[in-house]
Amino acid sequence: MKKLILAVAATVVMAAPALAADAEAGKAKSMMCAACHGTNGISMVPMYPNLAGQKEMYMTKQLKDFKSGKRNDPTMKGMVAALSDADMANLAAYYASLK
């Protein structure tokens, strides 16, 4: 039983992000997003999604998928090209913190 508990604990630790994302750093990076997705993550343009309140893990995955080309959108691919994994996590934390 002890081995099972240790195995589960190790799995949980390995699945958790190494460092917590920094919403304030994400806010600082969010200016490039504001033109399409709105200053507070609420888009004024119907074809662009609202980012405010999106789930953090979902946002991080989508940004990574745009960067890798798994999601094909030339505009977003260009926007995320220079973002690091930490930048993407921080942006996701920022937008997830908004209502």
Structure tokens at 4: 């099972």
CB atoms within 10 A of CB 20: 10
Mean pLDDT on 62-79: 96
Number of helices (H) and strands (E), helices first, in the chain?
Answer: 6, 0
Q: Confirm if 79 and 88 have CB atoms less than 8 A apart.
A: no
Q: Which domains does the chain have, with CATH numbers?
A: 2-97 (1.10.760.10)
Segment (H or E) for 2: helix 2-15
Q: What is the pTM of this model?
A: 0.80
Structure tokens at 17: 């992000």
Residue 92's contacts (CB-CB under 8 Å, 6 or more residues apart) are 21, 26, 54, 56, 57, 58, 59, 60, 63
pLDDT tens digits, 20-59: 899 999 999 999 999 999 999 999 999 999 999 999 999 9
Higher-pLDDT residue of 8 and 89 is 89
Please identify which residue in the block is written with the tokens 């600082």: 28
